[in-house]
Chain A
Amino acid sequence: SQQGEEDPQALSIQEGENATMNCSYKTSINNLQWYRQNSGRGLVHLILIRSNEREKHSGRLRVTLDTSKKSSSLLITASRAADTASYFCATDSTDSWGKLQFGAGTQVVVTP
């Protein structure tokens, strides 16, 4: 079963704007990851944040993790049309290393 809940389910923005999506989970985790998927194709790993980290940056991506609230957010700054995709959070729980529980996903559309 899916552990993570994501919101919003869908997000439509214009190029240059920032996109923020949130993920909540239920169990204790080793890490939380964000993935991108374009039109039902393969998953692209974006960023991994460990349970002892609170914030991480990678290029235009910023991820935060609040283990007390069991939540994470992904911020994409200065969005581009190429950022149009579905974004999924995934958690690796402390009781089952390697097995990922995925959130429902956020569908992001960036219009030129």
Chain B
Amino acid sequence: SAVISQKPSRDICQRGTSLTIQCQVDSQVTMMFWYRQQPGQSLTLIATANQGSEATYESGFVIDKFPISRPNLTFSTLTVSNMSPEDSSIYLCSVADSRGYTFGSGTRLTVV
């Protein structure tokens, strides 16, 4: 399966600021996704990161709050904008290809 490097692993941020999370994949993959896991909850899909075009967002998530870039088939970023304490969560990227499904190690975000 693919190998994903996700950075940062954790961060503590002030409210009102933004944080950009990066995921680097060791091979080209078509399908790349971003998930959020709120404290004590399961994972919820934020969006599909599309290479060369705008991301496709799930219900309840908007581009202004979670802008996503996908400049090529091995890299994507998720920005959490204008953060509030409610954004404190684990954010994970994921890829799916013929070899299976792989998740990044996650970014634990705490907003104070």
- Is the CB–CB distance between B43 and A88 below 8 Å? yes
- Is the CB–CB distance between B106 and A102 below 8 Å? no
B103 contacts partner chain A, Cβ-Cβ < 8 Å: yes
**Most A CB within 10 A of own CB, among B33, B39, B43:** B43
Question: Hey, which chain A residues are within 8 Å of B103, CB to CB?
Answer: 42-43, 45
A99 contacts partner chain B, Cβ-Cβ < 8 Å: yes
- Is the CB–CB distance between A102 and B31 below 8 Å? no
B111 contacts partner chain A, Cβ-Cβ < 8 Å: no
Contacting B at CB under 8 A, from A1-33, are: 1-2, 33
Question: Hey, which chain B residues are within 8 Å of A2, CB to CB?
Answer: 42, 44
Main secondary structure of the interface of B (DSSP, over half): strand
- Is the CB–CB distance between A102 and B42 below 8 Å? yes
A98 contacts partner chain B, Cβ-Cβ < 8 Å: yes
Least CB distance from A49 to B in Å reads 13
- Is the CB–CB distance between B90 and A40 below 8 Å? yes
- Is the CB–CB distance between A33 and B101 below 8 Å? yes
Contacting A at CB under 8 A, from B90-112, are: 90, 92, 94, 96, 100-106, 108
Sorting the interface of chain B by its residue count into under 10, 10 to 19, 20 to 34 or 35 or more gives 20 to 34
- Is the CB–CB distance between A40 and B101 below 8 Å? no
B53 contacts partner chain A, Cβ-Cβ < 8 Å: no
B19 contacts partner chain A, Cβ-Cβ < 8 Å: no
Assuming the A-B contacts A33-B101, A43-B103, A45-B101, are A102 and B44 also in contact, with contact meaning beta carbons closer than 8 angstroms in the complex? yes
Question: Hey, which chain B residues are within 8 Å of A41, CB to CB?
Answer: 105-106
- Residue positions of A touching B, CB distance < 8 A: 1-2, 33, 40-43, 45, 48, 88, 90, 92, 97-105
* Further contacts, 14 of them, CB under 8 A, given A42-B104, A43-B103, A88-B42: A40-B37, A41-B106, A45-B102, A45-B103, A48-B101, A88-B43, A92-B96, A92-B101, A99-B45, A100-B45, A101-B45, A102-B44, A104-B42, A105-B42
